[in-house]
Amino acid sequence: MTKSFSFRCPNHAAARPARQFDEIDEAATFATPLDDRSPTYCQHDLSLEFVEFGAGSADRIAICVAREIACEDENAAFGTRRKRTSFPGQILLQRRHQDVDKGAISPLNRQCSSGSAAIVLVTDQNYALPTFSAALSADQHTKSADIAIRMFVVGAEDTWARQFDEAVAGTKIKVIAARLPQLAELAPYHRDHYLPPIALARFWIDGLLDAGVDRFLYIDGDTMVDDELDSLLATTPPAEGLMAAPDFLNIFMDEVSRGKKRDLAHLEGIGCRAETYFNSGVIYASREAWNDIVPAAIKFMIEHPDHCPASDQSALNHAARGRVTMLSLRYNYQSEHMMVLDPRRRGIGPTIWHFTGGPKPWNMPDWPWDESFNRYYCAAEMRLHGSTLVTPVPPEAQTRAGIAHRRRSRSRMTWVYPWRKITRRRKILHLLSATANGN
């Protein structure tokens, strides 16, 4: 069964059809294309059990590919056709999505916490609309009334923040104007050319939160929550560290490339290994642990700004090294991962999508982020209709560079080194299904 979805946003001139994808039904063909444009298919070679497929959200599929990858050999990479295999009425599964949610991912195996949790987003006025859309997606996927959602807008006045009062009605979201004079003091040490200094504001989350909150899940403003967060937020984060998902750098480091020397120098400068280097766009931590890590991160960033090309992310990786529990990639699925594999084609639904790099789907919905990823952005626009908020427009040069990078990567993985798509997929699927671990 194939469905196509269309969305129309107030700021978009016309509805654009979303990318078509196959829904698994009783007559599903369980085969995977090696490339979005290629007719090549790889027959699944798995030691799995037969499980009746249910339509409920708890029965969505998560594929562990321990043996599947073995059949994606060099012949498959260069276009050798393989037979497509159908399983009418039944689908080969290793485990249900529910099993991964409640077993393999370590947050759900951790001790439950009895304190108060919050989901935190920090932005400036320029990026308030995308950040509010991320907050709406988080609200949609947290059912517990005890979980607060706080969106802090740095540099805004209370009167400006009041335009959200009607928009947040019926949600757990509270939009709060915030003052962070420390941000201006640290901004001169900011070295990330792709992000504004507001990215540093996450350092001061503790001073922004309500007194009763003992742990928080920070998410960037360019994310979209797409599955439940209650099970993660019900658990206790590490007493002296934090939890975060791997950065996309992880899937490239064993390849020969022009940028490898630069990446190795970055990791060496902050004292981290590629496999334990995390993306700071999604972080789960206790306030106590955060207050221990952040001063060391700020100190390192001030003393060694040239070692922090990713700014706060570099500094946090340095300060938290040895104290990070790696989350499944499902909690922070980034653009570079999506350019290699849309996990929905394998029956895997990430909890948080992260629109790293550019262009963002609200600026230019295109591969790998189609119009369907704008649904909460459209909802945010409708809730804020008549407000002063507008869609942030990135610099034209940055947009051109982002488009060129994505086209170049897609072309190279198709025609220059197609085997890299296979090896990267192998790593991504492992990171999606791996049990979290400390480092």
Cα separation, 136 vs 140, in Å, equals 6
Does residue 136 contact residue 103 with C-beta atoms inside 8 Å?
Answer: no
pLDDT > 70 fraction of the chain, expressed in percent and rounded? 73
Cα separation, 9 vs 267, in Å, equals 41
pLDDT of residue 15: 42
pLDDT of residue 263: 93
What is the reported pTM? Answer: 0.77
pLDDT of residue 8: 44
Reported as a pLDDT band with limits 50, 70 and 90, residue 193 is confident
Non-local CB neighbours of 114 within 8 Å, separated by 6+ positions = none
Cα separation, 321 vs 244, in Å, equals 12
Q: Is the peptide bond before 181 cis (omega within 30 degrees of 0)?
A: no
**Which H or E run contains 205?**
helix 205-208
pLDDT of residue 329: 97
Cα separation, 235 vs 301, in Å, equals 31
Q: Is the pLDDT of residue 382 over 70?
A: yes
Average pLDDT over residues 27-48: 33
Cα separation, 15 vs 210, in Å, equals 41
**How many Å separate Cα 210 from the centre of its chain?**
26
| Segments making up each domain of the chain, as ranges | 1-439
Cα separation, 156 vs 423, in Å, equals 46
- CA torsion sign, 307 to 313 to 315 to 317? negative
Q: What is the 8-class DSSP label of residue 133?
A: H
Q: What is the mean pLDDT of the chain?
A: 80
Cα separation, 349 vs 74, in Å, equals 28
pLDDT by residue (tens digit) across 255-292?
A: 888 888 999 999 999 999 999 999 999 999 999 999 99
Q: For Cα atoms 115, 121, 127, give the angle at the middle one, nearest 5 degrees.
A: 170
Q: Is the pLDDT of residue 77 over 80?
A: no
pLDDT by residue (tens digit) across 163-174?
A: 999 999 999 999
109, 238, 334, 387, 432 from 105: Cα distances, Å = 7, 15, 18, 41, 9
Write the class of the CATH domain 1-439: alpha beta
Decide which of 235 and 39 is more confident: 235
pLDDT of residue 114: 59
Does residue 176 contact residue 161 with C-beta atoms inside 8 Å?
Answer: yes
Percentages (nearest 5) of helix, strand, coil residues in the chain = 40, 20, 40
Non-local CB neighbours of 218 within 8 Å, separated by 6+ positions = 120, 121, 122, 202, 205, 282, 283, 284, 285
- DSSP letter for each residue of 140-162: HT---TT-EEEEEEET--HHHHG
Q: Is the pLDDT of residue 62 over 90?
A: no
